[in-house]
Amino acid sequence: MKNKGKIKDRLSNASGDLNKLRSYFKRCGVDTPPFFKKLRIVGVAVAAAGATILAAPVALPAGVIALGGYLVVGGAVASAMSQAAIAESNDCNDDLGGGAALGI
């Protein structure tokens, strides 16, 4: 019977994670500031350049291949985070349910 508490804790943690994910997707649907729109485009371009290096049909030195991997990861992270930025005029508490849903 002592496992019931552990199961309830796991279920409550899973629902908290689900709320955080829903909050992220809500943020992605809100208007993004112009700077972050440009950053998103640059991030996609950097990730594409890294993918091109990784998919090159010729043998490249290990350092260049590693650089391509870092470019892909950096570009993907920059694009994802800039997509989640919201304009200052939007009120987070009204649109997104407050900071509690974000885990802050």
- Residue 19 is encoded by which pair of tokens? 């709320």
- Residue 32 is encoded by which pair of tokens? 């993004």
Phi and psi angles of residue 89, each rounded to the nearest 5 degrees, phi first: -70, -20
Q: Which tens digit of pLDDT belongs to each residue from 55-92?
A: 999 999 999 999 999 999 999 999 998 988 887 654 55
| Confidence (pLDDT) at 43 | 96
Q: Which tens digit of pLDDT belongs to each residue from 3-47?
A: 555 555 555 556 667 787 787 777 777 788 889 999 999 999 999
- 25-42 as b/e, with b when 16 or more CB fall inside 10 Å? ebbeeeebeeebeebbee
- Residue 20 is encoded by which pair of tokens? 């955080």
